[in-house]
Amino acid sequence: MSDRIYLDHNATTPVDPRVLEKILPYFTEIYGNAASNDHDFGYEAKKAVDKAREQIARVINAKPEEIIFTSGATESDNIALRGIAEKYADKGDHIITCVTEHKAVLDVCKKLESLGKKITYLPVDQYGMVDPEDVRKAITPDTILISLMFANNEIGTIHPIEEIGKIATEHDIFFHTDAAQAVGHLPIDVQKMNIHLMSMSGHKIYGPKGIGALYRKKSNPRVEIEPITFGGGHERGVRSGTLNVPAIVGFGEAVRIGNKEMNKENKKYREWAEYMLTELRKEVPEIQLNGHPKNRLPNNLNISIPGIESRALIVKLKEVAIATGSACTSAKVEPSHVIEALGFGDQRAHNALRFSFGRQNTQEKIDQAMNHLVSNIKRLKAFSSK
Ligand SMILES: *Cc1c(COP(=O)(O)O)cnc(C)c1O
């Protein structure tokens, strides 16, 4: 267990021990229902939730009442897209998104299409970047929402969010961004960036799994949402259901710590990514970098190694946890829709490896991972050239 090196932090992160410490009392000591305001038990739980709401709001320059707690970025994406499509149906039926979005956005868009909505899936360039001019050109009188992710979870590319927000605002259209990989990792200012809706996740930033939030702008403009679930009217009627107080406490603390430490952490990650790419290229000069060379998540390194099937490599690479550019479905190996969208063909996806660094990695472990990787690449190369 302890010998394995975890380099898959874009998939999920461990809970930071400082976060865990804050959470624990809320299971057994401060266990009230945040909606039960008839006694101190409920009041104390509500106080803890309010604090987390403030912590998150402060980091993204929002107001606490603009934070809606959900079960994660998937649910936030669902609420944002479905909630806007339904609420503003009389204003229009067109949504603009892009081909490299997370399935939590793409699959909701497919569902909306089946309900008669029109979706434009913008292409991306060879770095996975949407051209803001394409966004502008895709706008029609029926467009009600633009949904473009902040940073891509597979290739790390960071979209020109501020420019896109400006275009949306100029055209009186709402702008939603899935920022699951960005909150607590990159500076975000929802005011300055003209973001009207933003999805966040706890477990991508050393908080618990199963908790997230949706930022929803409440004034200038006020964004209305039709709820997709109904019940006790929690979270301003947008998301009914008893609040998961321990997870919310942890999420708030995780965002606070992430924001405080991002500069220091990102500097370290950039150095590791640079170092790994340089060292690997010494062994295999033809390695391709997937994603944008500069505008990318510091903790993400996605490469394709020509001639090496990434699935064959990770089968051998027991000591290091990394992700590939393809997913095994029951019938066949499906290339990643993100890497395919870059326009280099399927093979590039089958050769892709994603390394994503995290808080607990050390230079020593990165070196060890490199050694394991290089020796396995050499072995596979020798095998395939026979
Ligand atoms: C992880 C992730 C999600 C899903 O978030 P959950 O909190 O696991 O539901 C959505 N979008 C992006 C970009 C992600 O990285």
pLDDT tens, the chain, 386 aa long: 468 999 999 999 999 999 999 999 999 999 999 999 899 999 999 999 999 999 999 999 999 999 999 999 999 999 999 999 999 999 999 999 999 999 999 999 999 999 999 999 999 999 999 999 999 999 999 999 999 999 999 999 999 999 999 999 999 999 999 999 999 999 999 999 999 999 999 999 999 999 999 999 999 999 999 999 999 999 999 999 999 999 999 999 999 999 999 999 999 999 999 999 999 999 889 999 999 999 999 999 999 999 999 999 999 999 999 999 877 666 777 899 999 999 999 999 999 999 999 999 999 999 999 999 999 999 998 877 66
Ligand 1 atom nearest to 181, measured from its CA: 15
Q: CB burial class (10 A; 0-12, 13-18, 19+) of residue 331?
A: exposed
Cα distance between residue 206 and residue 12, in whole Å? 8
Cα distance between residue 149 and residue 102, in whole Å? 8
Q: Where are the beta strands (DSSP E) in 148-211?
A: 174-178, 197-201
Q: Say what the pLDDT of residue 330 is.
A: 63
| Residue 339 phi, psi (nearest 5) | -70, -35
Residue 386 CA to ligand 1 centre (angstroms): 42
Residue 276 tokens read as 């790994």
Interval 57-110: pLDDT, tens: 999 999 999 999 999 999 999 999 999 999 999 999 999 999 999 999 999 999
Q: CB burial class (10 A; 0-12, 13-18, 19+) of residue 105?
A: buried
Cα distance between residue 168 and residue 138, in whole Å? 11
Residue nearest to atom 12 of ligand 1 (CA): 180
* Residue 109 CA neighbour count, 13 Å, CB half: 22
Ligand 1 atom nearest to 12, measured from its CA: 1
DSSP letter at 151? B
Residue 170 CA to ligand 1 centre (angstroms): 29
Pocket perturbation via mutation, ligand 1, pick of 79, 178, 188, 211 by most ligand atoms within 8 A of CB: 178
Residue 181 CA to ligand 1 centre (angstroms): 8
Q: Which of 328, 375, 379, 384 is catalytic?
A: 328
DSSP letter at 169? H
Residue 183 CA to ligand 1 centre (angstroms): 11
Query: Is residue 328 annotated as a catalytic residue, yes or no?
Result: yes
Q: Beta 323-324 vs 352-356: how paired, if at all?
A: antiparallel
Instruction: Please report which residue ranges of 221-350 form alpha helices under DSSP H.
Output: 245-283, 310-316, 337-340, 346-350
Residue nearest to atom 14 of ligand 1 (CA): 180
178 lines ligand 1 (CB under 6 A): yes
Omega before 208 cis (within 30°)?
no
CA dihedral over 40, 46, 49, 51, signed as positive or negative: negative
Q: Do 64 and 54 form a contact (C-beta atoms < 8 A)?
A: yes
